Each structure stands twice: as C-alpha cells, then as structure tokens.
C-alpha cells in the first residue's frame, strides 16, 4: 500500500508537471492554490517559463542584430541587413514568449488600450488600475520586455511593424552610413514636427474610446480634423521625397530611413506611429513611382516602334 501510494503520487506529479505547461496564467495560479504539491509544480513551471523567455531574448539578439533595442549613436550603424526570414522567425518567437505570460489575462492589450496602467504611470495612484496588478503579477519583469516604454532600455522582446525592418516582400539592403545619418535627421525632424498634432490630441483625447481606437488603428489620428498639415506636408511630403522616381538611389534612401526610424523609436517609443506612417507611405509611393516609370517606358517603346507606314 505504501509503495502504491508513492507510485500514485509520482504519477500524479508527472501528470501535473506536463499539464501546467498548457495552462494560461490565471489557470496556472488557481492550480497552484489547490495543494502544496501542485504549488511546487507551478513554481517550477514559472521558473521554466522565465527561462524560456530568457532563451528567446538571446535568440532575438542573434536574429535581429545585437543593436536591437538600442538608440542611434554616433558612427554606430547596423552592419548586417535584416532578412525577412529572420524577422518572421523573431516575430514568431516573440509571440510565443508573450503567450507564456499573457494567455488568459491579456495584460498587454489592456496596457496598450490604457484599460490598465503601469504603476504611477501618470504620477497618480489608482489602486485598481495601477497598484494592484503590478504587485501580484508573477511575470512582471518579463512583461516589461514586451512594452516599448515600460523600461529602459527599450523592451528587448518588442518587434516593431515589419516596415521598420524590410521593404514589402523583400530583404533589407545595406545603405551607406552617410545616407543613414541624413535619414536620422529626417526621422528626428518628423518626430519634432509631431507637435503639430497637439491640437488634434487636445480636441479628441477626451473621447473615452480614444486609447482603444488609437491602439487598434494607430494611423487613424493622422486623418482627423486638424491633422492635415502634419500628415500631408510633413510625413507624406518626406515620404514622397524619399520615394522619388523609384530609382535604386531612392530605394536606398528608404532603406536608410528604416534603420534611422527604428533607432529613433528605440530612443523615443512614442515616435513609433508617425515614423511607421512615413515609412509605409514611402514604400507605397516608391511602388507607384516604379509602376509609373514602367508605364512611361511601355508607352515610349510603343511609340518608338511605329514606323508610320501602317505595318506596325
């Protein structure tokens, strides 16, 4: 009977250890509260998940480059262009790591929509929204790594939108350091010009749905009343200038801006949306320029082939 009891306990422990790997965070905590033995299993699972996230963090450094998350410094530029394959692998790993600590509770979305805030985020304390959850979150330090501006340096497990790394459907190319320096000035200027959005924010941020809509539709604010100057004259004009006539030189200007823009976001996370919009428009205008050039070339070749005798 004693051996049987021991064997039964061992089997139960093995089953519990296997089962907790598939539990969401809320279920994990509840399972640990059911018994001392289950609490021990849960504590082991928490250690395992934290270790997995640390491993993923190291993998991302290899995939995204050692400068991932670091702001622009003088004469320090990425030496290896980003591949789309590495970017997608990094995104998959980051999403997997986030599920380990966010399944069932969805804190990251709640933080993004401002349903919840980091402790003392705005200099005031709200017991329900700011103090309680940070005190009991078993993955608080890991969670910070998924938020742009929750800690310094920039969240090491944050993957920015694709256009910050690669052009649509392609790998990135390596622009010259001189182009990156010039692009950095553009990125800094765009972020500075975002001050023109102050009135838009003043008019709209009282809307109780503002933070949710801004999280779900980050470009929405650039099309609200009062945003025309910043959107058209600053961001889109910069994007159009970089796209040019769709030449190889123009493409490298955009590549340089990708690097400078993500470096600027690493330094000032709130610059993400305006730089994201600018890159997106530059890619769009570049494709339009290429299509326009191809169309002009086709017309030119067609006109050049006509001999005027009616036989062509």
Least confident of 40-44, 150-154, 175-179, 255-259: 150-154
Q: To the nearest whole percent, how much of the chain has pLDDT over 90?
A: 67
CB 229 within 8 A of CB 202: no
Q: Does residue 116 carry a pLDDT above 70?
A: yes
pLDDT of residue 29: 92
State phi, psi for 73 to the nearest 5 degrees.
Answer: -125, 155
pLDDT of residue 128: 45
Tokens 């694709």 sit on residue: 162
Distances (CA, A) of 215 to 3, 5, 221: 57, 54, 11
Q: To the nearest whole percent, how much of the chain has pLDDT over 70?
A: 81
- Read off the pLDDT of each residue in 163-176 and give the average, rounded to a whole number: 95
pTM: 0.86
2-20 and 36-64 helices, crossing angle to 10°: 30
Q: Which residues of 109-128 are buried (b: 16+ CB within 10 A; e: fewer)?
A: ebbbbeebbbeebeeeeeee
Question: Cα separation of 20 and 150, whole Å?
Answer: 28
With a CB cutoff of 8 Å and minimum separation 6, the contacts of 301 are: none
With a CB cutoff of 8 Å and minimum separation 6, the contacts of 128 are: none
- Read off the pLDDT of each residue in 75-89 and give the average, rounded to a whole number: 83
Question: Cα separation of 181 and 73, whole Å?
Answer: 10
Alpha helices, DSSP H, located in the chain = 2-20, 25-32, 36-64, 84-102, 107-112, 132-136, 140-144, 177-193, 198-204, 210-216, 228, 237-243, 248-267, 272-305
- Read off the pLDDT of each residue in 21-43 and give the average, rounded to a whole number: 93
- Read off the pLDDT of each residue in 112-131 and give the average, rounded to a whole number: 60
- Read off the pLDDT of each residue in 194-205 and give the average, rounded to a whole number: 96
Q: Does residue 201 carry a pLDDT above 90?
A: yes
Closest CA to 65 of 46, 50, 51, 79: 79
pLDDT band for position 70 (cuts 50, 70, 90): confident
pLDDT of residue 127: 41
pLDDT of residue 305: 56
**Candidate ranges 103-117, 141-155, 275-289; pick with highest mean pLDDT:** 275-289
pLDDT of residue 17: 85
More confident of the two residues 300 and 201: 201
Question: Cα separation of 164 and 64, whole Å?
Answer: 12
CB under 8 A, 24+ apart: contacts of 58-62? 59/90, 59/93, 60/90, 60/93, 60/94, 60/156, 60/157, 61/156
Q: How many CA within 13 A on the CB side of residue 148?
A: 18
The mean of the pLDDT values for the chain is 86
- Read off the pLDDT of each residue in 189-217 and give the average, rounded to a whole number: 96
**Candidate ranges 1-10, 143-152, 238-247; pick with highest mean pLDDT:** 238-247
Question: Cα separation of 190 and 242, whole Å?
Answer: 13
Tokens 């769009």 sit on residue: 284
pLDDT of residue 135: 79
Q: Does residue 123 carry a pLDDT above 50?
A: no
Q: Does residue 286 carry a pLDDT above 60?
A: yes
pLDDT band for position 161 (cuts 50, 70, 90): very high
CB 146 within 8 A of CB 154: no
Distances (CA, A) of 264 to 137, 286, 300: 30, 22, 43
pLDDT band for position 301 (cuts 50, 70, 90): low
More confident of the two residues 291 and 252: 252
Q: Does residue 124 carry a pLDDT above 80?
A: no
Closest CA to 231 of 265, 280, 196, 192: 196
Least confident of 158-162, 221-225, 306-310: 306-310
Q: What is the pLDDT of residues 212-271, one digit of tens each?
A: 999 999 999 999 999 999 999 999 999 999 999 999 999 999 999 999 999 999 989 999
């Amino acid at each position: 009977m004693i051996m049987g009891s021991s064997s039964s306990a061992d089997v139960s422990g093995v089953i519990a250890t296997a089962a907790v790997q598939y539990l969401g965070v809320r279920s994990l905590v509840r399972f640990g509260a059911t018994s001392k033995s289950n609490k021990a299993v849960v504590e082991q699972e928490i250690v395992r998940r934290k270790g997995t996230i640390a491993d993923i963090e190291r993998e991302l450094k290899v995939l995204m480059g050692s400068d991932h998350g670091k702001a622009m410094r003088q004469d320090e530029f990425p030496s290896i262009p980003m591949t789309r394959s590495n970017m997608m692998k990094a995104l998959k790993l980051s999403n997997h790591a986030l599920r380990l600590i966010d399944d069932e509770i969805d804190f990251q979305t709640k933080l993004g929509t401002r349903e919840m805030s980091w402790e003392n985020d705005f200099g005031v304390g709200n017991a329900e929204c700011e103090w309680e959850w940070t005190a009991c979150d078993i993955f608080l330090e890991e969670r910070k790594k998924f938020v742009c501006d929750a800690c310094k340096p920039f969240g090491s497990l944050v993957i920015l939108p694709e256009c910050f790394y690669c052009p649509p459907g392609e790998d990135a190319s390596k622009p010259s350091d001189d182009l990156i320096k010039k692009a950095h000035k553009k990125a800094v200027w765009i972020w500075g010009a975002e001050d023109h959005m102050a009135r838009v924010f003043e008019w709209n941020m009282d809307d109780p749905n503002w933070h949710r809509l801004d999280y779900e539709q980050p470009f929405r604010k650039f099309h609200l009343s009062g945003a025309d100057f910043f959107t058209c004259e600053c961001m889109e004009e910069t994007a159009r200038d970089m796209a040019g006539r769709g030449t190889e030189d123009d493409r490298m200007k955009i590549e340089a801006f990708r690097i400078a823009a993500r470096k600027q976001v690493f330094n000032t996370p709130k610059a993400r949306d305006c730089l994201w919009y600018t890159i997106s428009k530059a890619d769009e205008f570049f494709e339009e320029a290429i299509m326009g050039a191809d169309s002009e070339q086709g017309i030119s070749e067609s006109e050049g082939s006509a001999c005027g005798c009616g036989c062509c």
